[in-house]
Amino acid sequence: MITFYSERQLEHCGVTEVLSGEVVSSFECPERVDQVLNRLRERSLGDILAPESFSLDTACRVHTPDYVEFLQTVWPRWHQMYPDTTQAIPYCFAVRGLAPRCPDHVEGQLGYYSLDMTASIVPGTWNAIKAAMDCALAGQQHIAGGARSVFSLCRPPGHHATADQMGGYCYLNNAAIAAQAYLDSGCKKIAILDVDYHHGNGTQSIFYDRDDVLFLSLHADPAQDYPHYWGYADETGVGPGEGFNLNLPLPINRTDWSLYRQALDKALAAIQSYGAEVVIVSLGLDTFEQDPISFFKLKSDNYLELGQLIAGLNLPTQFVFEGGYATGALGLNTVNVLEGFSG
Ligand code: SP5
Ligand code: ZN
């Protein structure tokens, strides 16, 4: 299986975040992809290629153009206003109530375009965001060209990013952009299977009123963990999208492989009856038992079986990297999924 990866993705390095009230180093760090690259090379999974540079047109079909423009320009604007700081983090938000106005002030915009405080902006953030999007689109082209599978090693991740808000370490929604690219190149039905520990609220919201993308997510019950406000089982889509959104929330303290597998079987059956032409897997590895911010109990071997079960769909499959913070085992777990798939 070919991997698309760009070194420019290392240029994003968040400094700090707030976890349970304490200021800590960012969990989403460049070492994550180093671990994955090491294992990919060690186990000779296939070539690792740098993506070409794509235009922002497809990104602007799932995100609002003003949001994409904001992401591109926010650091220099912030730096001009606060030249002595190392990162931009929002501190106030355009919350419920009267429709908020998008202000001109860079710090006001930072909150306007954010869901939370964990998508920080540093000098290299845009380069990394753009390179991650390029990996997603290069993977899409590879599948459209006839490959059975591909791994888009995207970083920063994407599945929490909505049409116009960043959050949960996510900026552009890499999986959603790939899905839109398949549709624009003539596909009619795409499934996005999100196996990250956290609900993919961004992907859900982007396709919530559409029937051309079936979104399925296995995740921690939002009553018990981030993103808290979305991911409940009764969110099934709206209008033409009704019935094309499947949330499978799982209890945080007793989800091991056997419980996880039951939910996975339901998701795989739904993909089959939908008649998807391509599956995009939002591949988060934060379901691992040693993940520092998560509570599921999956073990490294379980990821081999996860890959095998996805392969059982017998569909062209694009893996798009999302979360996973147990840096030591992240490479092993990721490559296990890909090898399990490849057989
Ligand atoms: C892409 C992705 O995986 N983003 C995840 C963002 C999660 N951020 C909030 C985590 C809050 C966890 N609180 C539980 C405390 C565990 N000690
Ligand atoms: Zn996650």
Atom 6, ligand 1: which residue's CA is nearest? 168
- Look at residue 73 in the predicted model and tell me its pLDDT: 98
Distance 332 CA to ligand 1 centre (A): 21
- Look at residue 47 in the predicted model and tell me its pLDDT: 98
Is 155's C-beta closer than 6 angstroms to any atom of ligand 1? no
Q: Is 88 helix (H, G, I), strand (E, B) or coil?
A: strand
Atom 15, ligand 1: which residue's CA is nearest? 293
Q: Name the phi and psi angles at 188, rounded to 5.
A: -110, -30
Q: Which atom of ligand 1 is nearest to the CA of 168?
A: 6
- Look at residue 284 in the predicted model and tell me its pLDDT: 98
Q: Which atom of ligand 1 is nearest to the CA of 323?
A: 3
Catalytic residue flag (residue 219): no
Atom 5, ligand 1: which residue's CA is nearest? 168
* Residues within 5 Å of ion ligand 2, judged at the Cβ atom: 196-198, 284, 286, 323
The pTM of this model reads 0.98
| pLDDT tens digits for range 202-223 | 999 999 999 999 999 999 999 9
Closest CA to 303 of 317, 320, 285, 291: 285
Mutation test residue for ligand 1: of 17, 19, 229, 333, the one with most atoms within 8 Å of CB: 19
- Look at residue 21 in the predicted model and tell me its pLDDT: 94
Distance 293 CA to ligand 1 centre (A): 5
- Look at residue 164 in the predicted model and tell me its pLDDT: 98
Atom 9, ligand 1: which residue's CA is nearest? 226
Alpha-carbon span 275 to 196, nearest angstrom: 23
- DSSP 8-state class, residue 298: B
Is 296's C-beta closer than 6 angstroms to any atom of ligand 1? no
Domain boundaries in the chain?
Answer: 3-342
Per-residue pLDDT of the chain (343 residues), as tens digits, is 999 999 999 999 999 999 999 999 999 999 999 999 999 999 999 999 999 999 999 999 999 999 999 999 999 999 999 999 999 999 999 999 989 999 999 999 999 999 999 999 999 999 999 999 999 999 999 999 999 999 999 999 999 999 999 999 999 999 999 999 999 999 999 999 999 999 999 999 999 999 999 999 999 999 999 999 999 999 999 999 999 999 999 999 999 999 999 999 999 999 999 999 999 999 999 999 999 999 999 999 999 999 999 999 999 999 999 999 999 999 999 999 999 999 9
Is 118's C-beta closer than 6 angstroms to any atom of ligand 1? yes
Distance 61 CA to ligand 2 centre (A): 24
- Look at residue 65 in the predicted model and tell me its pLDDT: 98
Top CATH class of 3-342 equals alpha beta
Counts of helices then strands in the chain (DSSP H, E): 10, 10
| pLDDT tens digits for range 143-186 | 999 999 999 999 999 999 999 999 999 999 999 999 999 999 99
Residue 202: partners with Cβ closer than 8 Å, 6 or more residues away: 158, 159, 160, 161, 162, 165, 167, 168, 170, 173, 176
- Packing angle between helix 125-144 and helix 174-184, nearest 10 degrees? 40
ipTM score of complex: 0.95
